Structure 1
Amino acid sequence: MDIRLSQCFIAVDDHDQALAFYRDVLGLEVRNDVGFEGMRWVTVGSPAQPGVDIVLEPPAADPNTAPADRQAVSELLAKGMLRGVIFSTDDCDATFERVRDSGAAVLQEPVDQPYGVRDCAFRDPAGNMVRFAQRRTRPA
């Protein structure tokens, strides 16, 4: 059986701000931008991974979501309590500098982790945690 990741979802409350981050800062390409029933979904992805899409979706995208639940999800998003995503990079420090220089909120500066990566973390404009990990080469 061959199973592969095709899509993942990140809740965003402002697609234009999300695009400024994911497209303009991170360099992801926009693959789709559609509206439906007053909502908008934007699909982005790395040119290096044409088979993996990241869907930037409204929080509580189901139109049947109760207003109180929609409000609760929006509040959790604002607190950074919903989704997180980890990107791999070949240069954690350079990625950190680029993302920090964009004005993104820094959660963690680059650090060598005991589990074999050097990583850093930010919040995207909606409050989601976004991490960047570089595999460390282990001495022989």
Structure 2
Amino acid sequence: MNNAVLSLTIAILFGLGTFLILRRDVVKVIIGLSIISHAVNVLIVSTGLFNGEKAPIIDGHESTSSSILFKDVLDNDILAPVVTSANEVVYVDPLVQALVLTAIVIGFSITAFILILAYRIYEEYGTTDITELKRLWG
């Protein structure tokens, strides 16, 4: 993917999330927080790709084929996290993917918890409008 398109997508997600956070409805604020969380995850994953001479966790084991940079040596528990494109080889850092996967799971659970709280507020007060809730709370 082109870096400009990726940067524009991340910027649009941040802008949309910020726009929704500034709304008066609690559900829209929750959706905005979720969108910003996803934008941060996309930003982190986009920084996990890098060009270089070696993958960060593999030493040696070069292949003679032009499309495969490293061989998988299963006896030594070596798996090559390498993605090849038409012109260049792009290495993928698996640590970034693991961290983002953990962030997605945590973000989903927090979003579910906040939605349950918003539903409970709606049951109690009959509205999810923040200004109306301020008026009801005194």
TM-score bin (small chain):
under 0.3
Please identify which structure carries the higher strand content: 1
Larger Rg: 2
TM-score (norm 2): 0.28
Please identify which structure carries the higher helix content: 2
